[in-house]
Amino acid sequence: MKAMVGSSILANSYEAGVETAKNAMKGLKKPKVGLLFTSIKYDQNDVIKGVKSVNKDIKVIGCTSSGAIMTPEGIISSDNGFAGMMLLEDNELNVGVAGSPRGNDPRETGRKIAKEAMNDAGKKFAPVAFAMFASPAEEEYYLKGIQDVVGEIPMFGGSAADDAVAGDWKIFCEDKTFGDGCAVAFFYTTKDIKNVFTGAYEETDKVGIVTKVENDRKICEIDHVPALKKFAEWNGLNADDLMGQNLLVASIPCALGVKTLQGDLTAVRHPMIGNPDYSFNVGAKVAPKTAIIQLKNDVDGLINGAVQTVKDVKKDFDPAALFLVHCGGRKLHIGDRVDEDFVAIKNACGNVPFIVAFTFGEYGQMNHSGATICGLSLSFTGFSK
């Protein structure tokens, strides 16, 4: 397998798509799929038209990235916008793509796009792995629908993001773009695809039982205490200072986690919105009567976590490409040290082509945990040579 990455910060969306595709095509002949990530400032339809004008046969899928992307060339961002794409090429690679707005039922939409992706690849059986990109809201239900069709197979990806958690994100698949929905790329290949999924947070001894939940993602009570008050108590904070999106920023170094069934993955739950009744919303599903763990991290830990995750992907594995889904919230907390984060990631990747997308939700699995939706996490995927 071969891979190449191209990017652009041209002000015109169409021209940015053209430049991105031309840069990504260097050294490649017949790439099969393009993983494309752009700024919300661009017109995504025009970016895709620009990409297709360079090579109409490239299957394009991706989403908007929060504030920037990273490639071997650096941190790609500008006031006018940005775009970056990783192309994958291999004679033995077949990729089917499909995407759709939400519709009436996200699970049914998941089933629909899974069948369409199989048809797009000309297959009647499940792929070896798939990438998923969805809007930040109902990712678990899209995933269930996809799994209704293909079963429990490896997956990776992330949720579309914008620059201010304002709902301006977009998902795209071929000529479709939408703000609320899901897209998938099904990979049929004889080459190995390796995903490493982690929050890289440290667990504390503070643990409680979620005793009341509403609508899957609103934690109302922990140990029968208003959840925001319990969270504030654990972290030495004032619950009244955590209202609204104040919680989103304050909770990044002190996120919460739940264990997956076999205990090998601590799935990070990002407290995001503090509510007047002292409940709070999180970025992924939480079930009542679940043990929830107070986690901790700092900027050094966030940067070192990315480095170690790249190393874990490369361990006993020779990648031709690295697709790195990195939570936008982690980048926000890293702040002025983002250049250091880039250098650390680039050094860990070495000469392997890579692209980093900054997302508002991350998907993957660890040690047969089953496909899991998290926040504040890293889903790093390698495609073998």
Asked whether residue 250 falls in the same domain as residue 186, the answer is no
Residue 276 dihedral angles phi and psi, to the nearest 5°: -55, -25
Residue 355 tokens read as 């692209």
For residue 12, is pLDDT > 90? yes
pLDDT band at 247 (very low <50, low <70, confident <90, very high): very high
pLDDT band at 307 (very low <50, low <70, confident <90, very high): very high
Residue 368 tokens read as 């047969």
* Distance of alpha carbon 294 from alpha carbon 82, whole angstroms: 36
Residue 59 dihedral angles phi and psi, to the nearest 5°: -85, 125
* Distance of alpha carbon 49 from alpha carbon 30, whole angstroms: 18
Report CA Rg, the chain. 20
pLDDT of residue 273: 98
Domain boundary among 296, 330, 350: 296
Asked whether residue 157 falls in the same domain as residue 267, the answer is no
Asked whether residue 267 falls in the same domain as residue 314, the answer is no
Domain boundary among 272, 296, 320: 296
Mean pLDDT value of segment 33-58: 97
Pair 37, 83: CB distance under 8 Å: yes
Asked whether residue 65 falls in the same domain as residue 138, the answer is yes
Asked whether residue 252 falls in the same domain as residue 270, the answer is yes
Which helix (H) or strand (E) element contains residue 76? Answer: strand 74-76
Q: For 342-371, how does the pLDDT look when each residue is reduced to its tens digit (9 = 90+)?
A: 999 999 999 999 999 999 999 999 988 999
For residue 82, CA distances in Å to 134, 362, 379 come to: 20, 21, 22
For residue 207, is pLDDT > 90? yes
Asked whether residue 264 falls in the same domain as residue 306, the answer is no
Asked whether residue 125 falls in the same domain as residue 49, the answer is yes
Asked whether residue 184 falls in the same domain as residue 115, the answer is yes
pLDDT of residue 155: 98
pLDDT band at 117 (very low <50, low <70, confident <90, very high): very high
Residue with token string 């992924």: 284
pLDDT of residue 215: 96
Q: Number of structural domains, the chain?
A: 2
Nearest in space to 159 (alpha carbons), one of 357, 355, 5: 357
Asked whether residue 73 falls in the same domain as residue 157, the answer is yes
For residue 1, is pLDDT > 90? yes
Per-residue buried b or exposed e for 119-137, using 16+ beta carbons within 10 Å of the residue's own CB:
ebbeeeebbebbbbbbbbb
* Distance of alpha carbon 174 from alpha carbon 158, whole angstroms: 18
Identify the burial level of 85 via C-beta atoms within 10 angstroms of its C-beta, where 0-12 means exposed, 13-18 middle and 19 or more buried: buried
Q: For 72-113, how does the pLDDT look when each residue is reduced to its tens digit (9 = 90+)?
A: 999 999 999 999 999 999 999 999 999 999 999 999 999 999
Pair 268, 376: CB distance under 8 Å: yes
Q: Supply angle C-alpha 9, 31, 124, rounded to 5.
A: 125
* Distance of alpha carbon 8 from alpha carbon 180, whole angstroms: 26
pLDDT of residue 324: 98
Amino acid at 208: G
pLDDT of residue 261: 86
What percent of the chain clears pLDDT 90, i.e. is strictly above it? 99
Domain boundary among 296, 312, 336: 296
Asked whether residue 49 falls in the same domain as residue 175, the answer is yes
pLDDT of residue 287: 97
pLDDT of residue 55: 97
Asked whether residue 24 falls in the same domain as residue 125, the answer is yes
pLDDT band at 175 (very low <50, low <70, confident <90, very high): very high
pLDDT band at 304 (very low <50, low <70, confident <90, very high): very high
Does the global pTM surpass 0.95? Answer: yes
* Distance of alpha carbon 197 from alpha carbon 187, whole angstroms: 19
pLDDT band at 37 (very low <50, low <70, confident <90, very high): very high
Q: Give, as one character, the DSSP assignment of residue 52.
A: H
Asked whether residue 129 falls in the same domain as residue 252, the answer is no
Which helix (H) or strand (E) element contains residue 314? Answer: helix 299-314
Residue 137 dihedral angles phi and psi, to the nearest 5°: -170, -55
Residues 6+ apart with CB under 8 A from 79: none
Domain range for residue 220? 202-296
- Averaged confidence pLDDT in the chain: 97
